[in-house]
Amino acid sequence: MPLTVPTRWVKNIIALFLLPWCAILTQTFFTAFTRATIHQQLWAGAEFWFFTLGAVLWLIAFFGLPRPVIIYVFGHELTHVLWVWLMGGRVSKFRVSGDGGHIVTNRTNFLIALAPYFFPLYSVLVIAAYGMASLFFNVAPYGQLLYATLGITWAFHLTFTCWMIPKNQTDLSDHGTFFSLLFIYLMNLVLLSTLLVIASPQITFASFGADLVENLRSFSEWVGSLMNRFMRDHGLPPTLPINS
């Protein structure tokens, strides 16, 4: 009888390998953000302040006013639909209400299930609308409005994601909560890093990638030193070189 391994076990093992990447990318992002904000004065740009203003306005609305749950649910289910189509599937039912929603489809996987938690649909729609408008009108005077709207929609995505995750979402539990949370965190961090590179003229994808590689090298050396110390403590010769 062939040995079968539950898919959830496999995803938990994959999640363990995602942990170092989450730590490395987090370090790289905050290093680049600190450099851009303090040393390269990203904070002095109008784009930064309008994005921040939009985010703050949404936070006030989220915590101080009735939450537009149905708008979130609509975007959540629509994101599922878009990713089903992206994966070549079909959707036969789409239901949205103030109490929740669901779709019926002939295809599902972890990307389709987790997409609403890392794909900021309303921010993407804002960027798409701005890009379409730029084909017919001069939209340069409305750049600050774009950043403010992105601040609102990104904060909308972040707050509702954090609010919904603890509510026993089947999207997460069906694919293993540990794996799902790490994957959602990593994908959101990738998107944030991309936005940081785009927003900061002093940061390029090449320089961000170089920082990432350097942090990966430092992490590898740290792991190597731990393994060598463990082997020495147990009377075994170290096998991994340590760069001094």
What tens digit of pLDDT does each residue of 48-88 get?
A: 788 999 999 999 999 999 999 999 999 999 999 999 999 99
Q: Which of 11, 17, 14 is nearest to 219 (CA)?
A: 17
Residues 215, 119 share a domain:
no
Residues 54, 17 share a domain:
no
Q: Is residue 108 part of a domain?
A: yes
Integer Cα distance of 34 and 122 in angstroms: 27
pLDDT at 123: 94
> Which of residues 164, 183, 200 is at a domain's end?
164
Residues 218, 184 share a domain:
yes
Integer Cα distance of 55 and 51 in angstroms: 6
Residues 195, 84 share a domain:
no
Q: Is residue 103 part of a domain?
A: yes
Residue whose structure tokens are 């890093």: 193
pLDDT at 159: 96
Q: Is residue 243 part of a domain?
A: no
Element containing residue 54 per DSSP (H, E):
helix 46-64
pLDDT at 244: 42
> Which of residues 129, 164, 199 is at a domain's end?
164
**Which residues form the domain of 134?**
45-164
Q: Which residues in 2-123 belong to E strands, given as ranges?
A: 91-97, 100-105
Residues 157, 58 share a domain:
yes
Low-confidence stretches of the chain (pLDDT < 70) are 1-6, 40, 42-44, 233-244
Query: For the whole model, what pTM was predicted?
Result: 0.84
Structural domain total, the chain: 2
Residues 192, 84 share a domain:
no
pLDDT at 36: 80
Residues 98, 7 share a domain:
no
Residues 64, 159 share a domain:
yes
Q: Is residue 181 part of a domain?
A: yes
